[in-house]
Homo-oligomer: A and B are copies of this chain.
């Protein structure tokens, strides 16, 4: 039965559409699900009514009645990092293919902000979460447990994933890259570490392992600041001041590495003859430099795709044997080393 007032202060509801189409909201609901459940004539009337009213679906009732939101939450540490944009592309590809949507939040590499964002996304009832860290506050862990949504931790390979993980071994990758520098005869190798997040620290461990195996002294230049090209330059100057015999730098990422490479040349050092430079993540900037930047190639788009596929798989009840999936890495050993 049509309700009298199509209140002007409210968004059109299914009831409004039903009233205008002279049918019931249940039929309109069916039409939205799969229009072939509805008679041709009714279908046309509904389509017209929707058009006229500009109906916008409302997720709230669905969510309220324990249905799915058909949205997954993705938490990014930073919005400016190329690294995460390829991840996002992979995620979107997998998610949109399945008719799901994504809601993004970001937390500036801060655990407490991550906690707030997790609460925020869960309070909107996302069906699953993709997180870019492996360390979380106790309350975050508690909320994930209580909410019982599938979670994929990406980038690293945590010892004990909350649920699922897709990533690579940053320690091993750093050890290999440092090993490659040593194999090329470099002896005084500094590690340039910015922001001091977990992945930067894991890479530092790999660097230290490789050096200690070769009997060389580590030299770590650290800062809490976020990575940038100009910061890379500053850090190289600090490294040169600390060790005038420096013959190589391994950088926690390509932004720092590119900045270091540019600054080295400005300081009159020939790369790689006098100074080798290696980065991490193999971003596009490395290919624009001359010589091109040696780096660790990480399959980030693939991580995103696999993470989303597994998350959606879990929603379908699939159980994965290997909680943590290792996507591996490769080394680009050209140019700057």
Which A residues are within 8 Å of any B CB, using their own CB?
10-12, 53-61, 63-64, 66, 71, 76, 78-82, 84-86, 88, 92, 101-106, 119-120, 122-125, 142-143, 145-148, 228-230, 232-233, 258-259, 262-263, 265-266, 284-285, 287-290
Contact = CB atoms under 8 A, between A and B. Distances in A.
Given A61-B64, A146-B12, A285 B229 contact: yes
B104 A66 contact: no
Nearest to A76: B79
A258 B284 CA distance: 12
Nearest to A104: B104
Contacts of A104: 79, 103-106
B54 A145 contact: yes
Contacts of A11: 146-148
Contacts of A66: 10
Nearest to A57: B123
B146 A288 contact: no
Contact of A230 (B53, B60, B78, B288): B288
B106 A287 contact: no
Contacts of A125: 58-60
Copies per complex of this chain: 2
B287 A229 contact: yes
A258 B76 CA distance: 27
Contacts of A290: 262, 265-266
A56 B284 contact: no
Nearest to A141: B54
A57 to B, nearest CB: 5
Given A123-B56, A124-B124, A288 B233 contact: yes
A79 B83 CA distance: 10
Contacts of A266: 290
Choose among A57, A80, A122, A148 the residue with the greatest number of B CB atoms under 10 Å from its CB.
A80
Nearest to A88: B79
Contacts of A124: 59, 71, 103, 124
Contacts of A82: 80
A230 B123 contact: no
Given A85-B78, A146-B11, A56 B119 contact: yes
Nearest to A51: B142
Contacts of A228: 284, 288
Contacts of A229: 284-285, 287-288
B85 A232 contact: no
Given A10-B66, A79-B84, A288-B262, A56 B143 contact: yes
A56 B262 contact: no
Choose among A71, A78, A288 the residue with the greatest number of B CB atoms under 10 Å from its CB.
A288
16 contacts: A10-B66, A11-B147, A54-B145, A56-B146, A59-B124, A59-B125, A60-B64, A71-B124, A76-B79, A79-B88, A80-B86, A101-B120, A258-B288, A259-B288, A265-B290, A285-B285
A124 B57 CA distance: 9
Nearest to A62: B60
